[in-house]
C-alpha cells in the first residue's frame, strides 16, 4: 500500500502592512551608548582665593607704608635745623650761599630773589622758579642753582657780553634825539651800564627801544657780524649805524679824520680794507671829503668835498 503523504497547514496572522518596508531579517539591537562624564572644571578653591586676598592686602599695606615714609622724610627735610640756610639777603660774604660769575649784575638784585629762602630749609627752595627770576635780570644770560647738602646753595651765573653802546633815540618836539645811552649784546638785549665800569666799544645807532625784539635782534646781529669780520680794524670804528639794514654805515678814524663809510650789507672787510689802502691818495685829491660810498666793490665814491669824487 502506498504511503500517504501527510501535509500540515500553519496559519499565521500577519500585521497589516503600514506602508513601511520590513527588513528581510532582524537587525541586532544597537549597543547602549556610553556617556562619559566631563571632568569637573578646575575652579580656584578657597586656598587660592585667600592667597590673592593676602597679596592685594600686602600690596596695599606696602603702598600706604611708602606714602607714610615719604611724608616723614619730607617733613624731616623741611623742618630739621641741619638743612636751614643761614644768613640773610644783606650778607656780603656767606659761605653757605655762594654766587659765582657775578661781575656787572647787581648783587642786591640777585640776593633779593632769594630773600625768602634764608632761615628756611634748602629743601623748600623752588629752584626752577628762582632760576626763571634770575634770567629776568638784564645782565644774566644763563644761570644754574644747585643744593649742596645739608644747607648750602651755589649759584653760577653767565653774564651777557656787550658789543656796543646803544644810542637809544626818542622823539622830542617832532625830532629824533638821543635820550638814553645803554649797552647791547649780540642778541639785541639792552643792558644797563654798570657804575664805574669802563668799556671800549663803538656807539650803535638805529635800534629804538620800542622796536620789536626780533627786529632789534636782527639789526644788532648785523652789527655784530660786521665787528667780527673787520676785527683787525674794529679799534678804529667809533660808530655803527644800522638804521637801514641794506646800507650799514660806520664812522672810521683815518689819518686823524673822522670818516663816514657806507658799506652796504656784505663784504665789509674787503670794502673797508680797500678804502683804507687807497685813502692816502684820495685824501690828497679830496681833502675835504668826509662821506664815502663803498657799496660797489670796484668803486669808491665821495659824497661830499668834491664835485665828482669817484
DSSP per-residue string spanning 218-247: HHHHHHHHHHHHTGGGGGGEEEEE-SSTTS
Cell of 261: 663809510
With respect to residue 171, please indicate whether it lies within any of the assigned structural domains. yes
CATH number reported for the structural domain that contains residue 143 in this entry? 3.10.20.310
28 confidence band (pLDDT: 50, 70, 90) = low
Q: What is the pLDDT of residue 178?
A: 66
Does 188 map to a domain?
Answer: yes
Q: Answer yes or no: do 166 and 298 share one domain.
A: yes
Query: Which of 94, 128, 159 represents a domain boundary (last residue)?
Result: 159
Query: Residue 14: helix, strand or coil by DSSP?
Result: coil
Is 259 found in the same domain as 129? no
Instruction: Please tell me the least confidently modeled range out of 34-43, 107-116, 160-169, 299-308.
Output: 34-43
Which pTM value belongs to this model? 0.73
Same domain, 139 and 177: no
Q: Are 151 and 240 members of one domain?
A: no
Please report whether residue 53 resides in a domain: no
**CATH number, domain containing residue 289:** 3.40.50.11690
Percent of the chain with pLDDT over 70: 78
CB contact at 8 A, 139 and 187: no
- Report pLDDT for 6: 43
User: Which one of 108, 141, 159 terminates a domain?
Assistant: 159
Peptide bond into 303 cis (omega under 30): no
Examine residue 33 and state whether it is found in any structural domain, yes or no. Answer: no
Do 215 and 152 fall into the same domain? no
Phi first, then psi, for residue 204 (nearest 5°) are: -110, 125
Residue 145 sits in the same domain as residue 233: no
Read off the pLDDT of each residue in 42-51 and give the average, rounded to a whole number: 69
Most confident of 5-14, 62-71, 190-199: 190-199
Residues 149 and 132: their CA atoms lie apart, in Å, by 22
* Structural domains of the chain, count: 2
**Collapsing DSSP states into helix, strand and coil, what is residue 186?**
coil
Asked if residue 34 is part of any domain, the answer here is no
**Same domain (yes/no): 200, 213:** yes
Express each pLDDT in 83-92 by its tens digit: 999 999 988 8
Does a structural domain hold residue 111? Answer: yes
Q: What is the mean pLDDT of residues 13-25?
A: 49
Kindly state whether residue 200 falls inside one of the protein's structural domains.
yes
- 154: containing domain: 82-159
Q: In terms of domains, do 282 and 166 share one?
A: yes
- Please state, as a whole number, how many other Cβ atoms lie within 10 Å of the Cβ of residue 273: 13
What is the distance between the alpha carbons of residues 206 and 89, in angstroms, rounded to a whole number? 40
Is 143 in the same domain as 212?
A: no
Handedness of CA 127, 129, 130, 134 (dihedral sign): positive
Select from 141, 159, 177 the last residue of a domain: 159
Check whether 94 has a pLDDT greater than 80.
Answer: yes
Do 113 and 173 share a domain, yes or no? Answer: no
* Same-domain status, 168 and 271: yes
- Entry field: residues in the chain: 310
The answer to whether residue 23 scores a pLDDT higher than 50 is no
Range from 5-19, 176-190, 274-288 that averages highest in pLDDT: 274-288
Question: 262 and 275: one domain?
Answer: yes
Assess if residue 287 is contained within a domain: yes
Amino acid at each position: 500500500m502506498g504511503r500517504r503523504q501527510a501535509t500540515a497547514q500553519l496559519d499565521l496572522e500577519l500585521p497589516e502592512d503600514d506602508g513601511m518596508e520590513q527588513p528581510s531579517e532582524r537587525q541586532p539591537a544597537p549597543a547602549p551608548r556610553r556617556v562619559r562624564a566631563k571632568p569637573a572644571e578646575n575652579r580656584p578653591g578657597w586656598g587660592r582665593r585667600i592667597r590673592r586676598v593676602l597679596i592685594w592686602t600686602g600690596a596695599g599695606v606696602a603702598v600706604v607704608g611708602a606714602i607714610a615714609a615719604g611724608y616723614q622724610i619730607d617733613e624731616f627735610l623741611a623742618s630739621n635745623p641741619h638743612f636751614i640756610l643761614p644768613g640773610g639777603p644783606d650778607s656780603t660774604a656767606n659761605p653757605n650761599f655762594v654766587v659765582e660769575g657775578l661781575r656787572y649784575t647787581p648783587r642786591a638784585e640777585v640776593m633779593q630773589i632769594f630773600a625768602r629762602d634764608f632761615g628756611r630749609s634748602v629743601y623748600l627752595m623752588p629752584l626752577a622758579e628762582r632760576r626763571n627770576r634770575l634770567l629776568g635780570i638784564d645782565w644774566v644770560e644763563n644761570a644754574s642753582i644747585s643744593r649742596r647738602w645739608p644747607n648750602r646753595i651755589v649759584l653760577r651765573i653767565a653774564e651777557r657780553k656787550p658789543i656796543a653802546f646803544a644810542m637809544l633815540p626818542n622823539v622830542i618836539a617832532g625830532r629824533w634825539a638821543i635820550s638814553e645811552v645803554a649797552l647791547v649784546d649780540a642778541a639785541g638785549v639792552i643792558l644797563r651800564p654798570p657804575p664805574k665800569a669802563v668799556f671800549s666799544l663803538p656807539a650803535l645807532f638805529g635800534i629804538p627801544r620800542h622796536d620789536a625784539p626780533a627786529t632789534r635782534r636782527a639789526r644788532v646781529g648785523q652789527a655784530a657780524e660786521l665787528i667780527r669780520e673787520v676785527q683787525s680794524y674794529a679799534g678804529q670804528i667809533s660808530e655803527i649805524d644800522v638804521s637801514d639794514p641794506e646800507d650799514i654805515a660806520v664812522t672810521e678814524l683815518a689819518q686823524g679824520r673822522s670818516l663816514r663809510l657806507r658799506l652796504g650789507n656784505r663784504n665789509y672787510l674787503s670794502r673797508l680794507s680797500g678804502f683804507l689802502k687807497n685813502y692816502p691818495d684820495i685824501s690828497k685829491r679830496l681833502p675835504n671829503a668826509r662821506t664815502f660810498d663803498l657799496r660797489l666793490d670796484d668803486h669808491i665814491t665821495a659824497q661830499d668835498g668834491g664835485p665828482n669824487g669817484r
